[in-house]
Amino acid sequence: MYATSEKNKTINLALFDFDGTLCTKDSFTGFIFYTLSKRHIMRKGLKILPWIQAYYLKLYPADAMRAKLFNTMFKGNSAKQLQQLGQEYAQTLVKNLDTQLFQRLLQHQAQGDKVVLVSASIDLYLKPVCELLNIDLICTQVEIHNGFITGQYSTPDCSSEQKKIRVHEAYHLNDYAHVYAYGNSYEDLQMFSLADSCYMVGEDQQLPRLADVKKLA
């Protein structure tokens, strides 16, 4: 849905990647270990070991690896149970955010900017994360049928070009005074192409200056 009340360019738009950016760790792998037994993980992991090895050798793309890992680990699990565990896991994630980038998020909120989490990770725990942070969410959504995880996504993996597409679908960028994007990898470059100011974790030394916006009287 497009924003309809922000057409006077009185606020900025801030787009944050999650894993490796706002969150200091790989939240998806963490969710696997938070929700599943070590025995289950080992048994299922052995079945896709060739793909895991190919991924680490950079012979198998990250988006395909995430989808295969999700299918292998979670197919057939109770959606209600995983959603409950996602709520709990979200609590642990928000307590361990990157200090500098979390402070920047709060700065955006303090001046009334629209803040959006744009991530390839899944909604089972990112939705409650965003509810806790009071920000919008664009991410990979999982498919649920008859109360169970099908092992498939209901949306494409939200990385690279999909980040750009999904942001365009949700927001009229011309309605904002300034667009910021914060990320940490090549999967964020397409999102960066939408922004006036960008920050790449591990490369840029300083956060971009926050632009002043004209407030309505």
Instruction: Say how many domains are in the chain.
Output: 1
- Give the domain extent around 140: 13-200
Helices 62-74 and 38-47 pack at an angle, to 10 degrees, of 130
Residue 108 has pLDDT above 90, yes or no: yes
Q: Grade residue 215 by pLDDT with cuts at 50, 70 and 90.
A: low
Poorest-pLDDT segment among 51-60, 158-167, 208-217:
208-217
Residue 214 lies in a domain: no
Residue 64 lies in a domain: yes
11: number of CA atoms within 13 Å, CB side? 18
Task: Output the pLDDT for position 1.
Answer: 32
Task: Output the pLDDT for position 5.
Answer: 44
Report yes or no: 191 and 171 within 8 Å, Cβ to Cβ.
no
Q: Grade residue 9 by pLDDT with cuts at 50, 70 and 90.
A: confident
Residue 213 lies in a domain: no
Residue 92 lies in a domain: yes
Report yes or no: 68 and 51 within 8 Å, Cβ to Cβ.
yes
Query: Which CATH number goes with the domain that contains 168?
Result: 3.40.50.1000
- Of 49 and 212, the structure prediction assigns the larger pLDDT to 49
- Per DSSP, what are the bridge partners of residue 145? 148
Report yes or no: 65 and 55 within 8 Å, Cβ to Cβ.
yes
Residues 28, 72: Cα–Cα separation, whole Å: 13
- Per DSSP, what are the bridge partners of residue 200? 183
Q: For residue range 153-189, list pLDDT tens digits in order.
A: 999 999 999 999 999 999 999 999 999 999 999 999 9
Burial class (CB in 10 A: 0-12, 13-18, 19+), 168: exposed
CA dihedral (121, 96, 91, 34) positive or negative: positive
Residue 138 lies in a domain: yes
E strands within 1-132?
A: 13-16, 114-122
Task: Output the pLDDT for position 168.
Answer: 97
Helix, strand, or coil here: 139?
Answer: strand
Mean pLDDT score of the chain: 94
Residue 162 lies in a domain: yes
Q: Whole-model pTM?
A: 0.92
Residue 3 lies in a domain: no
Q: What percent of the chain has pLDDT over 70?
A: 94
Report yes or no: 207 and 40 within 8 Å, Cβ to Cβ.
no
Helix, strand, or coil here: 23?
Answer: strand
Residue 217 lies in a domain: no
